[in-house]
Chains A and B, each alone.
Chain A
């Protein structure tokens, strides 16, 4: 069983030239030890020497034990709601994609803003001391709201520092100010799906420059894709590419990726119900799906819809002026 050259992601013109010169299998070009005399000549002539080697390289294999160790040491970003953090096994996981979905007014943007603040908490307070990149597609980003949350967070940390009275805390709290928090959030506004794609494909370069960034939030991923694209196959393909890119970014730069999604009505025969938008295939791509909902009297619910490591369960939280907080009295 040989490997056909068509299974290499080369441009069409090269495939055609390989066919024209009678190379059907990769093994004709390269027999495991090195290129054959003919193959070598062609590959050098076309300048695809390095490219071919990279394309045919074997992806690394790890044992489950290694992956477990990596998972155990990877940090989390707290949401300031203990119940939601417990639901997510400690908060938003760094190195993975977390999807938030919910109806309008269910707290998706609030949660995104809160996490943008929380990622900046200094290390001595158990934070990540990172920065955040916020990609806004639906103009939901409100600096004033971010400032409110930042103020509350800084106040909280000052209070902790005052009570704990540790030296490193005291030093770090001086730099942890509202202005610093506001400066630590990079904001990108996009207006249609083309701009969003461009923004997502430039995250990689951006993170090369800003190595402090530990969180990328896309709010909302669904919005630009729900208007403007009529061909649903194209939409699915673009979304898959986007998710693949985000996953690459998450793993390569070790950042947490948070995307928000909307809800849609699925009309079945006889009944209809609300489901996350963007279709089944997108749902398949997302590893962790957290559904948010607005209960009555200022209470919000978070339900873990899909996760490989946690069971489906739910938590309640509330949104105050200071940001996301636990419900002080749990109703269960």
Chain B
């Protein structure tokens, strides 16, 4: 816990804490940042005791170094490669999804992002006999579709029932519920960690739906709500600039996105799971002075101005570097053919592409992968 309490150190007695609280020193960060002389004044403890408290806190709360070889062995023994069950996709991403990483699937609406997630969750729940967590933000999850995919593989009804029992679907309506769920998941993963990994993949479909409600809040109308809050806040007799500063931060969805990314990264690294996140690709018409890369359709206009018709993932620049691999799925010509391309990756070549088909069997690999 970040708040100072009597259990942290025998020297931090009730009376000492009270004095610290009066001087607005509440958390371990506060006490580490405060000048030692001042702390002596406040707490009436000796210099030696203050140092002891600090060292104790640092020892308890800081990360400690591990030998490189130990870290390597730890990763080797705990990391797994989880095949998606779609041959051409697996070939492209090097065998499957690596645990400890966040993957993103992005594509325009109706391109098959949810279909991919449903198929992958059905495959993994069947092949690995493990639970798959599916976080559904816009009630897109379809049990009928999963059943259809499993049935088309020719499994028995009992097998299908057992597999579907292993797919755990949580429907959430806003980003705050996501936090509640992730915290809960974290605790439950922590309990059954010892040796066996009960959950290896968490699917989040879809992310932008959680953050669109924050759009435009810090633009034109942001000022209005800021003003509104300031008026209400004035009763607490604080310097107005503090209020302004805090409000700007609380209002923007960026804070929440940052916290969410942190929680996700914590879960994937600590409990060796994979996060598969769905993002929307939006078409943006941009005027740019430089030509885009080969994948974009660019037509030179007068002078050196170029209008690019690019598909860009939603959620802005901050989110761009959170996932380690971004897969871009898009329609090619016919209704059931799709191409999946690596858009960004820390480990794969971004030139890789593969082709898949979407039909009643779910997402299946098509011939002609490169």
Contact = CB atoms under 8 A, between A and B. Distances in A.
Interface of A: 1-4, 6-9, 12-13, 15-17, 19-25, 27-28, 31-32, 36, 55-72, 89, 96, 231, 233-234, 236-237, 240-241, 243-244, 247-248, 251, 266-270, 280-281, 283-287, 289, 305-306, 308-309, 311-312
B67 interface: no
A69 to B, nearest CB: 7
Given A3-B179, A61-B168, A236-B216, A248 B173 contact: yes
Given A3-B183, A9-B174, A308-B145, A240 B233 contact: no
Given A62-B169, A308-B118, A7 B266 contact: no
A244 B173 contact: yes
B236 interface: yes
A89 B298 CA distance: 41
A23 B139 contact: no
Contacts of A96: 139
B143 A67 contact: yes
B110 A22 contact: no
Nearest to B220: A231
B109 interface: yes
A27 B1 contact: yes
A288 B230 CA distance: 42
B180 A231 contact: no
A24 B216 contact: no
A284 B215 contact: no
B307 interface: yes
9 contacts: A8-B179, A16-B246, A22-B24, A61-B133, A234-B215, A237-B215, A285-B209, A309-B148, A312-B335
A309 B176 contact: no
Contacts, number: 230
Q: How large is the interface on B (under 10, 10 to 19, 20 to 34, 35 or more residues)?
A: 35 or more
Contact of B255 (A6, A9, A287): A6
Closest 6 CB pairs of A and B: A22-B26, A68-B143, A233-B216, A283-B109, A64-B167, A67-B143
B164 A68 contact: yes
A284 B206 contact: yes
Given A240-B212, A284-B209, A308-B114, A1 B167 contact: no
A269 B2 contact: no
Nearest to A97: B139
A60 B181 CA distance: 9
Given A22-B3, A70-B143, A4 B233 contact: no
Given A23-B3, A60-B170, A64-B167, A309 B145 contact: yes
B108 interface: yes
Contact of B232 (A13, A24, A31, A63): A13
Given A240-B209, A241-B213, A25 B250 contact: no
B307 A7 contact: no
B221 interface: yes
Interface stretch (B45-53, B72-80, B256-264, B319-327): B256-264
Contacts of A280: 108-109, 280, 282-283, 314
A28 B335 contact: no
Interface in B210-255: 212-217, 219-221, 229, 232-233, 236, 238, 243, 246-247, 249-251, 255
